[in-house]
Amino acid sequence: MDFVTIGGLVIGLIGALSTIGSVVVLVYKSRGENKTAALNAKTALDARIDARVTLQLETAWKSITDLENNVKSLETRETRRSGAITRILRAIAKQWPGTEGPDLDPADIAEIEETIPIAWIRKSPT
């Protein structure tokens, strides 16, 4: 074989091998684990999980704070109410004719105030 034929074969062979080889190398390389890429992916994954947990915690804490505020406001309202009822009862008792005082249900009184004079409370049936 002459130089031109051998040269043509060499050029064709090396050119074709380079094309196929580069694709094979890239496919092989893409299958391998890249530490940086894996680390980046893990960091990104952790960040997304953190973000989700943070969001859930924020939602939960907001809900808890709202409930706390509601309870506080109910407590304040209830204290005011029971105070008012006590004052009303005392006022009624002061104006009550006779010495016995009003006849009240002990269970109802226990619900609102402990400072009602015992004498005003209905005796339990014996």
Partner 1 sequence: MLKLYSWSIWAHDAIPAEEWKYRNLKRVVFPIVDIIFFLSGFSAARFGIPAISEFFPDEFVDIFAYVLSLASFICLLGVSFPSLWGFEIAGKSVVLGLIIGYVVALFLLTAVGEDSRGFIFFISAVSLVFIIWRLSLLGSEWQARRVEAAAERELAARLAAIAKLDRGE
Closest contact distance (angstroms) between CB of 7 and partner 1 is 5
Q: What are phi and psi of 39, to 5 degrees?
A: -65, -45
What is the total residue count of the chain? 126
Which span (39-47, 68-76, 90-98, 107-115) binds partner 1, by CB under 8 A?
39-47
SS3 assignment, position 96: coil
Closest contact distance (angstroms) between CB of 66 and partner 1 is 20
Q: Which is nearer to partner 1, 31 or 123 (CB)?
A: 31
Looking only at residues 2 through 21 of this chain, which bind partner 1 when binding is defined by CB under 8 A? 3-4, 7-8, 10-12, 14-20
Cβ(83)–Cβ(102) below 8 Å = no
Q: 29-46 in b/e burial notation, b at 16+ Cβ within 10 A?
A: eeeeeeeeeeeeeeeeee
Determine the Cα–Cα distance for residues 114 and 93; give it in Å rounded to an integer: 15
Looking only at residues 49 through 108 of this chain, which bind partner 1 when binding is defined by CB under 8 A? 49, 52
Determine the Cα–Cα distance for residues 79 and 42; give it in Å rounded to an integer: 54
Which span (32-40, 57-65, 69-77, 90-98) binds partner 1, by CB under 8 A?
32-40
Contact residues for partner 1, defined by CB under 8 A: 3-4, 7-8, 10-12, 14-20, 22-23, 25-26, 29-34, 37-38, 40-42, 44-45, 48-49, 52
